[in-house]
Structure 1
Amino acid sequence: MSDQTPAYGLWGLVIINSVIFIFFAYTFFKPQTGRDWRSFGAFSAFLVALFTEMYGFPLTIYFLSGWLQSRYPNIDWFSHDAGHLLEELFGWKANPHFGPFHILSFVFIGGGFILISAAWKVLYEAQKQRELATTGPYSYARHPQYVGFVLIMFGFLLQWPTILTVAMFPVLVFMYARLARLEEREVSSTFGKAYADYAARVPAFLPRLSRIRNTRPRPTEVELPAL
């Protein structure tokens, strides 16, 4: 960025980015129940806090400015690029937008959105048929949409960590875990043994490695002609 271009105080960008990403998440998640809206609202608050520091007011940089300037005196910590803290702290000298943490963040963010979208389609069809969702992402984890939200938030933390979002992250993870348990009790009362059997073989959040390995395509076996 040039000296004439302000690094922060861009509140229009705060609003635009917040609206775009919240709407984008809404189209993937499509909240319907009160529980859906609570989880979506908490995720939206995380995004607003993130973009406020990214374009509005760099609270984290101000709070840590003394320590950062003493440890890394050759960096202009109030430039916009310096907000990519992980790239700066690990000595990435090139454009931080092409840094390893920034690129990895897109993997988590994109994967989270894809997972939420794929899970919602399966859940929507199951709800229409009044059946238990057990296929697609639900064959790997019982709460893939919550996993998707956590992946997106973690991706943003890699890209632009702030004190507020780092503090919010474990709180939101705990909230999603609690919502998942409440949801399980309701689904269990509806589907009974079918859900108990499903829960016994499918973990809540983290897929089993054996399940992932079993889905990998195996090489085609070629039968050799008899000699």
Structure 2
Amino acid sequence: MNAKYRILIVEDDDDISMIEQAYLEASGFETFIVSDGDKVLPLLHVENFDLILLDLMLPGKNGYKICKEIRGELNIPILMVTARTESVDKICGLGLGADDYITKPFDPAELVARVNANIRQYSRLKEANQIELDEKGDEILIGNIRVLLHGWKVYKGEQEIRFPNREFELLKFMAENPNIVFSKEQLFEKIWGYDYVGDSATVMVHINRIREKIEDDPKNPKILETVWRAGYRLNR
């Protein structure tokens, strides 16, 4: 990793943001700090970043709202940094589109490792997708859902639905392997990779996000089903 990778640090605690900045820049990253939640999205409209470190408790908009807004417009890794330790807060952040989380107080070395892992994974997914596109057709149809492989777009009927990288990769993988049951562990290893810092519970959150977008009734899914004690299956 080197300085071509730009990290946006969204943190209102000066001591924490300076620690994050010092360790990331020592590891070769370029950083930019924002302390006010209201300034994040306007900045993203004029500046390009490769990853966002996003605190939850901020003046102006909180991290949850910012995450939801970013996911409505951009496909970029979001690593939430929070003092909260309850599982519901972590699941909420992942449910709104965060790719990963780290809890304060954190080991700066772990923070750098997670930033590296998320950027590596995004880069790997893009490269793998391009290789596959050279060998596959452009479109997969699942009922009224169209997955455009070259355009990295998903349509439900005539309406385009925005999908971040990992959601798209997960949907694409299952659409290319229909009617097969995959465990959470298998999906995690396939989409996130063996070296990713996280656990297979992340798969459940992403499956639920996909269902909210493609199912007519997400609580009673017909396309992306749960197979009790086995995993998930995409029906096509």
TM-score normalised by the chain length of structure 2: 0.27
| The structure with more radius of gyration | 1
Query: Looking at both structures, which has the greater relative contact order when contacts are Cα pairs under 8 Å and sequence separation is at least 6?
Result: 1
Instruction: Please identify which structure carries the higher helix content.
Output: 1
Which structure shows the bigger proportion of residues in strand conformation?
A: 2
- Give the TM-score normalised by structure 1: 0.28
